[in-house]
């Protein structure tokens, strides 16, 4: 091999432009002050959230312009020799470390503890989320559009290509001076905004500490612990053992020489100030082992600042927060989507974490408000990721230089040995993380109790029968008019006792639900009392025909079979067909091809005879079982039924009570089921009255209010006010909150 030629380049390691005297101290003070303020005042300081958000928006104002100018200046300033070094050997090592780091980050959520999560129906579950347009995300067909829309990966690619083109241009001094000046100005602008960052941290922390529930705080601890475990694994296992597997340097050598830098990085949370120290440490280890050549020191001096301009594993660790946020809101993405999001996030990390995290949250359709939790935790996490970043730079430089000098030591046995160490260490890390974090989310599920405690208001006198009264069996009430109902001062309503959320008994033994509320309103408008009579879905025509009750109100689906035997009012709701199954079986239930391959498929249903016919045609292997009530499905021994055919609105309410089950709504199915109230076919007077009455309730939004309360779960969203020192300990203020009705 010929003698290494000294690459000619003009790269200057400049001092940081953004300075804030005692900045970290003030941020820490803001954090502590915000924490105590939130605990003292509780929900009274929830309004401060907007102040924290305003500071964050100001900080983000300079990020994209700074990223563009710094990339143009950084890449454009390189010489050809410098660029070849950067984009050949260094890029190989960078990609290797990125792949290893991303793999660890993507797999670590497997150790997150299982949590029981369920929610009420929401119109958003019917919307098919648009797939990310990766062409627009990565291809800068219109750089200005990419900037305006925040397509950071496309902006980075454009700037990199522009910078590479600048390398071979001779008369570029004026442009490079412009970009350098722009970087300096943007740095100073950021420095001015950073001075108010402690205020933003104080406001965000106070709002979070004042409004965050104990369950939410426990879940945030899952992230903090997992993040620490991740950083410790990267620092003390992945990076040093990868270096030892590829180079002559041992684990002890690299950890000994990096020890002081790791401690400093952890203490200060600042990696930039360590660049000169890290550079000298890399030179020393080569000289100590007798591996240095006359070019080694120069190559290290070039590679270290170049490597610093690229995202390191310390920065990549923020991806774990995005995956945690998805877990936190029970929207864990499939591995393929998580991978694409992480790769996209890698490109955004060429710029700033302040852009990368909201960008990735948006890709996974996770509420942007969770970004505030990231900012609060950043005071702690920044210490750990700085430690990872410091060792990442050392390892990257050492591997790169050994590659350039042909000093790599790669053998099959050596590779298998270190691969075993890494795999074993990672498995142990997963188990340890699960063991530590599991206690923080145990026994936190409370939604089912909230559903069971939902109540009604504005009730009229009622009586609920457990079985049909003998008087009603005579048939004397088979024909009923509005006048007769008013004359006897009683409205008789047929109901199903276990049809959540339409009619069911709450924890206090009260009959409640969407249709029960409407029945009370109907009786109130008629000026009569109400009697609830249990009905049998399979005997509806007979029971209505013999006058067991005046009207059946219990989430009744209008079917072709039923409209031939009884009269229905105009539809009250349009429900959506869905399938309920155990969480771990939903992937099979949502795949028609997998369903057809099942030797036997047992589908339970209660009230969807029309759809059963379609199922029998589409899935000859399916056996449809008619239930007495939905509870029969949920209480059955696992394996008795494979799926439950139900409306999405009812299915979500049931899964709140039984969170080990989930709901799948066919994305390409436009099937809706009208729900109405059933009457005897001869009761035309009552039918006409009910149709007009329902029009009035739709117009005055009473039905909409009940839909929000019972089906969307508005009645279960009340939670007691957060504990605070000023209210609960000192008693200086009273509790002004009223329970939701």
Report the CATH number that the domain containing residue 198 is assigned in CATH: 1.10.3860
Say if residue 322 is in the same domain as residue 364: yes
Q: How far apart are CA 118 and CA 121, in angstroms?
A: 10
- Domain of residue 614: give its range: 575-674
What pLDDT digit, counting tens, does each position of 342-384 carry? 888 887 787 667 778 888 888 887 776 677 778 777 767 887 8
Q: Binning pLDDT at 50, 70 and 90, where does residue 62 land?
A: confident
Please give the average per-residue pLDDT across 181-195, as a whole number: 81
Claim to verify: residue 91 and residue 211 sit in the same structural domain: yes
DSSP for residue 644? E
Q: Where are the alpha helices (DSSP H) in 319-370?
A: 319-328, 335-348, 353-363
- Taking the C-alpha atoms of residue 370 and residue 677, their distance in angstroms, rounded to an integer, is 43
pLDDT at 608: 65
Q: Is the pLDDT of residue 319 over 90?
A: yes
Residue 144 covered by a domain:
yes
Is residue 470's pLDDT more than 90? no
Domain tally, the chain = 3
**Is 116 a residue whose pLDDT tops 60?**
no
Q: Please tell me which residue, 294 or 117, carries the higher pLDDT value.
A: 294
The reported pLDDT for the residue numbered 8 is 43
Residue 265: CB atoms within 10 Å: 28
Same domain flag for 558 and 593: no
**pLDDT bracket for residue 598 (50, 70, 90):** confident
Give the pLDDT confidence score for residue 4 in this predicted structure.
42
Length of the chain: 741
Residue 68 lies in a domain: yes
Phi, psi of 502 (to 5 degrees): -85, -40
Half-sphere exposure of 103 toward its Cβ, with a 13 Å CA cutoff? 11
User: Is residue 725 in some structural domain?
Assistant: no
Q: Which residue has the higher pLDDT, 469 or 658?
A: 658
Tell me if the bond preceding 501 is cis, omega within 30° of 0.
Answer: yes
Concatenate the DSSP letters of all residues of 1-31 into one string.
-PPPP--------PPPS---TTHHHHHHHHH
* 101 within a domain of the structure (yes/no): yes
Stronger pLDDT, 283 or 78, i.e. the higher one: 283
Give residue-wise pLDDT tens across range 283-311.
889 988 888 887 788 778 767 766 777 78
Does residue 2 fall inside a structural domain? no
- The pLDDT score that the predictor gives to residue 420 is 93
What's 554's domain CATH number?
3.40.190.10
Cβ within 8 Å of residue 128, ≥6 positions away:
667
Q: Are residues 303 and 422 in the same domain?
A: yes
Percent above pLDDT 70 for the chain: 84
HEC per residue, 682-728:
CCHHHHHHHHHHHHHHHHCCHHHHHHHHHHCCHHHCCCCCCCCHHHH
In angstroms, the CA 253 to CA 240 distance is: 9
Q: Is the pLDDT of residue 682 over 50?
A: yes
Q: Which residue has the higher pLDDT, 665 or 244?
A: 244
670: confidence class by pLDDT, cuts 50, 70, 90: low
User: Strand (E) positions, 435-566?
Assistant: 462-464, 490-495, 498-499, 503-505, 511-512, 529-534, 551-557
* Whether the predicted pLDDT of 476 surpasses 90: no
Q: Is the domain of 240 the same as that of 134?
A: yes
Are 163 and 97 members of one domain? yes
Q: Measure the CA–CA gap between 216 and 588, rounded to whole angstroms.
A: 31
In terms of C-beta distances under 8 Å and separation of at least 24 residues, what long-range contacts does 716-722 make, across chains too? Answer: 716/120, 716/447, 716/450, 716/451, 716/453, 716/454, 716/656, 717/450, 718/450, 719/213, 721/42, 721/43, 722/42, 722/43, 722/210, 722/211, 722/212, 722/213
Task: Give the pLDDT score at 667.
Answer: 67
Listed in order, strand segments (DSSP E) in 567-706 are: 567-568, 573-582, 601-605, 622-626, 643-647, 661-664, 672-679
Evaluate if residue 213 carries a pLDDT over 60: yes
Asked whether residue 508 falls in the same domain as residue 459, the answer is yes
Taking a C-beta distance cutoff of 8 angstroms, is the pair 203, 51 a contact? yes
**Domain-embedded: residue 506:** yes
Give the separation between CA 111 and CA 95, rounded to whole angstroms: 25
Give me the pLDDT at residue 11, please.
39
Higher per-residue pLDDT: 281 or 693: 693
pLDDT at 118 over 70: no
Report pLDDT for 474. 63
Q: Are residues 175 and 187 in the same domain?
A: yes
Residues 371 and 267 in one domain: yes
* Domain assignment of residue 668, yes or no: yes
Q: Give the rounded percent of residues in the chain with a pLDDT score beyond 90.
A: 25
Higher pLDDT: 586 or 688? It is 688
Mean pLDDT of the chain: 81
pLDDT at 119: 57
Listing DSSP states for 106-156 in one string gives HHGGGGSPP--------GGGGS-PPPP-HHHHH--SSHHHHHHHT-HHHHH
- How much is the pLDDT for 203? 87
| The pLDDT value given to residue 6 | 42
Give the Cα separation of 447 and 510 in Å (integer): 19
Residue 445 pLDDT > 70: no
Half-sphere exposure of 637 (CA within 13 A, CB side): 1
Same domain, 221 and 320: yes
Residue 346 confidence (pLDDT): 86
> Which range, of 57-61, 295-299, 475-479, 501-505, averages the lowest pLDDT?
475-479
Same domain as 541, residue 510: yes
Confidence of residue 138 (pLDDT cuts 50, 70, 90): confident
Q: How far apart are CA 590 and CA 408, in angstroms?
A: 50
Of 78, 372, 112, 106, nearest to 226 by C-alpha is: 112
Do 552 and 499 meet the contact criterion of CB atoms below 8 Å apart? Answer: no
β-strands 643-647, 511-512 pairing: unpaired
Tell me if 627 is assigned to some domain. yes
Mean pLDDT of the 681-705 span: 94
- pLDDT (average), residues 459-488: 79
> Comparing 391 with 561, which gets the higher pLDDT?
391
d(CA 610, CA 612): 5
User: What's the Cα-to-Cα distance from 439 to each of 116, 212, 231, 632, rounded to whole Å?
Assistant: 14, 19, 21, 32
Please state the pTM of the whole predicted model. 0.62
Together in a domain, 336 and 215: yes
Give whichever of 120-134, 418-432, 597-611 has the largest mean pLDDT: 418-432
Q: With cut-offs at 50, 70 and 90, classify the pLDDT of residue 21.
A: very low
Helix/strand/coil for 612: helix
């Amino acid at each position: 091999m010929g003698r290494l030629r000294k690459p000619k380049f003009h790269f200057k390691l400049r001092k940081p432009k953004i300075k804030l005297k005692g900045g970290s101290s003030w941020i820490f003070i803001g954090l502590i002050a915000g924490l105590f303020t939130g605990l003292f005042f509780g929900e009274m300081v929830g309004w401060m959230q907007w102040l924290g958000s305003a500071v964050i928006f100001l900080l983000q104002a300079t990020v994209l312009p700074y990223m563009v100018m710094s990339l143009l200046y950084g890449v454009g300033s390189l010489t050809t020799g410098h660029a070849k070094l950067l984009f050949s050997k260094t890029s190989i090592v960078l990609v290797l470390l990125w792949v290893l780091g991303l793999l660890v980050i993507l797999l670590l959520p497997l150790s997150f503890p299982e949590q029981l999560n369920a929610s009420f129906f929401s119109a958003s579950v019917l919307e098919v989320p648009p797939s990310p347009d990766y062409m627009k995300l990565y291809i800068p067909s219109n750089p200005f559009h990419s900037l305006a829309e925040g397509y950071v990966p496309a902006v980075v690619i454009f700037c990199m290509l522009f910078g590479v083109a600048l390398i071979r241009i001779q008369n570029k001094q004026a442009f490079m001076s412009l970009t350098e000046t722009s970087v300096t100005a943007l740095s100073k602008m950021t420095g001015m905004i950073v001075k108010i960052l402690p205020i933003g941290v104080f406001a965000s922390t106070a709002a979070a500490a004042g409004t965050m529930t104990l369950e939410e705080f426990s879940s945030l601890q899952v992230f903090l612990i997992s993040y620490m475990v991740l950083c410790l694994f990267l620092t003390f296992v992945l990076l040093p053992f990868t270096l030892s597997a590829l180079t002559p340097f041992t684990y002890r050598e690299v950890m000994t020489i990096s020890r002081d830098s790791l401690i400093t990085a952890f203490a200060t949370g600042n990696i930039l100030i360590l660049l000169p120290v890290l550079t000298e440490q890399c030179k020393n280890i080569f000289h100590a082992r007798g591996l240095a050549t006359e070019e080694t020191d120069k190559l290290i001096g070039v590679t270290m600042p170049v490597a610093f301009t690229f995202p390191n594993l310390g920065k990549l660790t923020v991806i774990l927060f995005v995956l945690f946020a998805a877990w936190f809101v029970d929207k864990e993405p499939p591995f393929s989507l998580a991978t694409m999001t992480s790769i996209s996030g890698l490109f955004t990390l060429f710029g700033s974490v302040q852009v990368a995290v909201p960008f990735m949250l948006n890709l996974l359709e996770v509420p942007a408000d969770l970004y505030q939790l990231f900012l609060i935790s950043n005071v702690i996490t920044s210490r750990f990721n700085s430690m990872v970043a410091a060792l990442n730079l050392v390892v990257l430089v050492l591997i790169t230089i050994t590659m350039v000098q042909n000093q790599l030591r790669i053998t099959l046995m050596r590779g298998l040995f270190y691969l075993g160490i890494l795999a074993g260490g990672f498995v142990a890390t997963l188990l340890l993380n699960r063991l530590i974090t599991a206690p923080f989310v145990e026994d936190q599920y409370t939604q089912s109790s909230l559903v069971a405690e939902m109540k009604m208001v504005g009730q009229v006198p009622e009586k609920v029968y457990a079985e049909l009264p003998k008087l009603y069996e005579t048939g004397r009430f088979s024909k009923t008019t509005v006048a007769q109902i008013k004359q006897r001062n009683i409205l008789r309503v047929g109901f199903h006792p276990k049809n959540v959320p339409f009619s069911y008994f709450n924890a206090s033994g009260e009959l409640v639900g969407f249709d029960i509320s409407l029945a009370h309103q109907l009786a109130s408008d008629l000026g009569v009392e109400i009697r609830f009579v249990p009905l049998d879905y399979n005997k509806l025509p007979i029971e209505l025909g013999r006058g067991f009750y005046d009207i059946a109100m219990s989430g009744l689906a209008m079917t072709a079979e039923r409209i031939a035997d009884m009269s229905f009012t105009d539809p009250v709701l349009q429900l959506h067909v869905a399938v309920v199954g155990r969480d771990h079986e939903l992937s099979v239930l949502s795949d028609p091809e997998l369903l057809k391959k099942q030797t036997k498929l047992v589908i339970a249903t209660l009230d969807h005879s029309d759809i059963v016919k379609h199922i029998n045609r589409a899935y000859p292997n399916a056996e449809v079982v008619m239930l007495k009530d939905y509870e029969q499905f949920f209480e059955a021994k696992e394996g008795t039924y494979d799926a439950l055919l139900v409306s999405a609105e009812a299915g979500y309410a049931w899964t709140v009570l039984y969170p080990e089950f989930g709901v799948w709504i066919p994305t390409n199915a436009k099937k809706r089921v009208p729900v109405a109230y059933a009457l005897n076919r001869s009761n035309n007077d009552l039918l006409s009255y009910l149709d007009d009455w329902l029009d009035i309730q739709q117009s005055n939004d009473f039905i909409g209010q009940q839909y929000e309360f019972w089906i969307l779960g508005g009645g279960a969203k009340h939670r007691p006010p957060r504990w605070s020192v000023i209210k609960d300990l000192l008693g200086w203020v009273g509790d002004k909150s009223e329970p939701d009705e």
